Amino acid sequence: MPCGAFAATVGALQNDCSIMDFAKLTAAQQARLAKLGIQRPLDLVLHLPLRYEDQTQLYPLAEAPLGGAALVEGEVTSCEVTFKPRKQLVARVKDDTGSVMVRLLNFYPSQAQQLAVGKRVRLYGEIRRGYFGPEMVHPKIRVGGEVSLQDALSPVYPTTAGLAQHQLAGLIAKALASTPLPDTLPAPLLHELGLPDFASSVKLLHHPTPDIPQILLTARTHPAWRRLKFDELLAQQLSLRLARAIRRERTAPVIAPSGALAAQLVGNLPFGLTGAQKKVLLEITQDLQQSHPMQRLLQGDVGAGKTIVAAVAACQAIEAGYQVAMLAPTEILAEQHYQKLSQWLSPLGVRVIWLTGSLKAKEKRAALAAAEDGSGQLLVGTHAIFQASVTLHRLGLAIVDEQHRFGVAQRLALREKGGSPHQLMMSATPIPRTLAMSFYADLDVSIIDELPPGRTPIVTKLVSDARRDEIITRIAAKVAEGRQVYWVCPLIEESETLQLQTAVDTHAQLVEELPGIAVGLLHGRMKPDEKANTMAAFARNELQVLVATTVIEVGVDVPNASLMVIEHAERMGLSQLHQLRGRVGRGAHASLCILLYTGPLGDTAKARLKVIYEHTDGFEIARQDLQIRGPGELAGVRQSGVPMLRFADLEADADLLEEARATAEDILAHQPALAQPHLDRWLPGREALLRV
Ligand code: ADP
Ligand code: MG
């Protein structure tokens, strides 16, 4: 069958949902299924078990493995309700070989009846060593022997409140039996990849036969698992590649390399660009000359010098007669960019406009007018720039700083602002290779892999908060040397108010403990201009110590600050700690980051603090973060708009990822008709995202 016809058949079969009618389910059932991401019969098929119960063989009681789950059968020889230490039902079940104690801590009368003396019962559950010999606590109980044994392992599915395991299992079994499961990949390709076919793979995973070692199933290394993980990764690769192809068909302004403006900017700097900065600028310059929009991610560890790269790129677009938008996730950061960029570019005659939600009405009107008539050449701001009221005259380049803070919606909004501008996204959150290959496969990536010269590495210390006094002494000494200090207050996720209170208290305390030293306070609830004033005062060294909530996490740049104290560091994530720590070590002074923790530490907190203590390289930290937390939690992935992976694990399945990547490329080049049916199966309804 030619590839096109094959694909058409698959597509037609998949869309035929009449076989198991979803509409027949009650609204409540549908809502519960939707919570599990199940909207079609096919989603039920793809809802795979978490683990399995083995009720395929019956153990004689004497041989049942202790510490594991097993199916046993016997006669109830005693049953009583005891009240010590609390009310419970205790029964003894015997077979020819031995006996087991059954305990129910909470029970219904019907359960007590099941365990009436003389009854034959089948029990399934974990058998452990108890005080009176082997015991089972709350086993599954079925009355009567004789029932034939199951011939496959029983699946245990992830479920949600109100949807009982057996109901879900029933729906899945029905879907499995009635949904056509044609393969989306042709047999020769599967043969080449050494993967089994789709239908038998899912069937096997729902109802594996007892001869399959459970470890292959739980470790997800069985070929059937590999097939599903491959399919999932392939769908992700195909969708990203298609998104990229669609973008390539749009037209963006062709921007010739800047002559005078960029050269002037660089010439005026007190430093020369690093080799890495020049390299990425070359890549950006080449992209800007293309007639399709650039989508480039500029990565560089904190302090690598991304802002000047953005400024040079902006010069090129401005010189070619286009407007540039520079967007930051917070007001503080936007303000700082505004200061820096106007300092660099205003002397060169570039009109830099400050545009945020907090502008006074009159200023705002002026800024909007300048955006609209094109006289504002570089617009710096926060999301406000995206708001419906802003019209841009001729947007040529959009620069998004700390892009992991921006969601898909904002990226979409950006496009709607002005055709298809070139996009430069900057991020200090390094993306490990496997993640870059999957979640960011639709972007081109430039990396600044070298820090500006003359930086002294940051020393990190882990200090118990019992030694807070010593820290105060150290702060006073640093300030006496002319340096400045950040004191970061703990993140309190449950309550912003509580976090604010902590910051206010800490500030008051430090004011008292550090007489003669100006201590400032910065938190998210302050008005934007108060924040800006405080930040500016700190930048001018009018404040020597800045107590701050994590609002300073991104991008703040005060080179004279060389000591950072992070309170309750154990509550913070790795990338957050790395970002925070990156606020020091920006000047030539030796810098110190003190991570204050409150013991005792849990295992994850310990692992995290160890990583941040041992490493300063953001890439290594991100890699370890990926290992500790998984990609879903890693900054940016959730917002990236790229489908999350349910089955594949980027680190463990790196080989499958490579194969999926190569296969996606091959399919799109040689058998493009295969792509859509595969995407329909794995990523239905994602057309909107493909347009980002
Ligand atoms: P980030 O990449 O974290 O955004 P910034 O752009 O804020 O870093 O740069 C950090 C600091 O390094 C700034 O003070 C900036 O002026 C300075 N800087 C940037 N490039 C160089 C360079 N090539 N040599 C010396 N200092 C530089
Ligand atoms: Mg920055």
Ligand 1: residue whose CA is nearest its atom 15? 305
Under 8 Å CB-to-CB from 30, ≥6 apart: which residues?
A: 22
Q: What would the mean pLDDT of 394-405 be, rounded to a whole number? A: 82
Determine the pLDDT at residue 19.
Answer: 46
For the CA of 454, the nearest atom of ligand 1: 25
**Encoding tokens for residue 582?**
């990156």
Burial of 296 (0-12, 13-18, 19+ CB in 10 A): buried
For the CA of 309, the nearest atom of ligand 1: 6
Compute how many other C-beta atoms are within 10 angstroms of the C-beta atom of residue 163. 19
Taking the C-alpha atoms of residue 115 and residue 112, their distance in angstroms, rounded to an integer, is 5
Taking the C-alpha atoms of residue 201 and residue 204, their distance in angstroms, rounded to an integer, is 5
Determine the pLDDT at residue 173.
Answer: 92
Ligand 1: residue whose CA is nearest its atom 17? 305
Determine the pLDDT at residue 469.
Answer: 92
CB of 337 closer than 6 angstroms to any ligand 1 atom = no
Ligand 1 center–CA 305 separation, angstroms: 3
Taking the C-alpha atoms of residue 393 and residue 402, their distance in angstroms, rounded to an integer, is 25
Ligand 1 center–CA 306 separation, angstroms: 7
Determine the pLDDT at residue 16.
Answer: 47
For the CA of 302, the nearest atom of ligand 1: 3
Q: What would the mean pLDDT of 352-359 be, rounded to a whole number? A: 85
CB of 428 closer than 6 angstroms to any ligand 1 atom = yes
Determine the pLDDT at residue 144.
Answer: 74
Determine the pLDDT at residue 393.
Answer: 84
Residue 431 pLDDT more than 80?
A: no
Closest CA to 488 of 356, 580, 575: 580
Mean residue pLDDT across the chain: 85
Share of the chain above pLDDT 70, in %: 87
Neighbours of ion ligand 2 (CB under 5 A): 555
Asked if 326 and 399 touch (Cβ cutoff 8 Å), the reply is yes
Closest CA to 217 of 49, 67, 43, 46: 49
Ligand 1: residue whose CA is nearest its atom 12? 305
CB of 304 closer than 6 angstroms to any ligand 1 atom = yes
Ligand 1 center–CA 125 separation, angstroms: 61
Ligand 1 center–CA 32 separation, angstroms: 51
Of 22-36, 202-216, 407-421, the least confident: 407-421
CB of 132 closer than 6 angstroms to any ligand 1 atom = no
Q: Could you tell me which residue, 6 or 653, shows the higher pLDDT?
A: 653
Ligand 1: residue whose CA is nearest its atom 13? 305
Q: What would the mean pLDDT of 208-218 be, rounded to a whole number? A: 86
Convert the pLDDT of each residue in 36-69 to its tens digit.
888 888 999 999 998 888 888 889 999 888 887 8
Per-residue pLDDT band at 18 (split at 50, 70, 90): very low
Ligand 1: residue whose CA is nearest its atom 25? 452
> Is-cis flag, bond preceding 253, omega within 30?
no
Asked if 54 and 217 touch (Cβ cutoff 8 Å), the reply is no
CB of 302 closer than 6 angstroms to any ligand 1 atom = yes
Closest CA to 677 of 180, 22, 226: 180
Taking the C-alpha atoms of residue 629 and residue 624, their distance in angstroms, rounded to an integer, is 8
Ligand 2 center–CA 332 separation, angstroms: 12
By residue count, the chain amounts to 692
> Is-cis flag, bond preceding 600, omega within 30?
yes
Ligand 1 center–CA 381 separation, angstroms: 20
For the CA of 557, the nearest atom of ligand 1: 7
Using most ligand atoms within 8 A of CB, pick from 271, 337, 558 the residue to mutate for ligand 1: 271
Closest CA to 175 of 167, 185, 187: 167
Ligand 1: residue whose CA is nearest its atom 4? 306
CB of 340 closer than 6 angstroms to any ligand 1 atom = no
Ligand 1 center–CA 587 separation, angstroms: 9
User: What type of residue sits at position 443?
Assistant: L
For the CA of 272, the nearest atom of ligand 1: 23
Q: Which ligand ends up closest to the CA of 402?
A: 2
Ligand 1: residue whose CA is nearest its atom 10? 303
Taking the C-alpha atoms of residue 206 and residue 227, their distance in angstroms, rounded to an integer, is 14
The dihedral through the CA atoms of 131, 133, 135, 141 has a sign that is: negative
Residue 632 pLDDT more than 70?
A: no
Taking the C-alpha atoms of residue 510 and residue 524, their distance in angstroms, rounded to an integer, is 19
Using most ligand atoms within 8 A of CB, pick from 308, 341, 429 the residue to mutate for ligand 1: 308
**Encoding tokens for residue 411?**
């990226």
Per-residue pLDDT band at 639 (split at 50, 70, 90): very low
Residue 360 pLDDT more than 60?
A: yes
Asked if 376 and 367 touch (Cβ cutoff 8 Å), the reply is yes
Under 8 Å CB-to-CB from 55, ≥6 apart: which residues?
A: 71, 124, 149, 150, 153, 154
Q: What is the dihedral of CA 403, 409, 412, 413, to 10 degrees?
A: -100
Of 67-71, 341-345, 555-559, 563-567, the least confident: 555-559
The dihedral through the CA atoms of 343, 345, 348, 349 has a sign that is: negative
Convert the pLDDT of each residue in 133-173 to its tens digit.
899 999 988 887 666 777 778 899 988 888 888 899 999 99
Residue 555 pLDDT more than 80?
A: no
Ligand 1 center–CA 331 separation, angstroms: 20
CB of 455 closer than 6 angstroms to any ligand 1 atom = no
Determine the pLDDT at residue 323.
Answer: 95
CB of 559 closer than 6 angstroms to any ligand 1 atom = yes
Ligand 1: residue whose CA is nearest its atom 16? 305
CB of 618 closer than 6 angstroms to any ligand 1 atom = no
Asked if 534 and 586 touch (Cβ cutoff 8 Å), the reply is no
Q: What is the pTM of this model?
A: 0.70
Asked if 519 and 509 touch (Cβ cutoff 8 Å), the reply is no
Q: What would the mean pLDDT of 260-283 be, rounded to a whole number? A: 95
For the CA of 277, the nearest atom of ligand 1: 23
Residue 337 pLDDT more than 80?
A: yes
The DSSP string of 613-662 is: HH---HHHHHHHHHHHH-GGGSTTTGGG-SPPPSS--TTTTHHHHHHHHH
